[in-house]
Structure 1
Amino acid sequence: MNLVSISSKADSDQITQQIKDQGHEGSAFWTSGTKLGDNITWLWMGNGRPVSFTNWAPGQPDNLNHYTESCINIFSNDMVWGPNTAQKWNDIRCSRELNIICEESLIEYEYCST
Structure 2
Amino acid sequence: AGELRCLAIFSKQRLNEFPDYPTAMEQGVDFALGQWRGLAAPKGTDPEKIKIIHDAFKATMEDPDFQKLAKKAGILLEYKGTEEFAKWVVEQDKFYKDLIISNKLGDKYK
- Larger Cα Rg: Structure 1 or Structure 2? 2
The normalised TM-score by structure 1 is: 0.29
Q: Which is strand-richer, 1 or 2?
A: 1
* TM norm structure 2: 0.29
Determine which structure has the larger helix proportion and give its number: 2
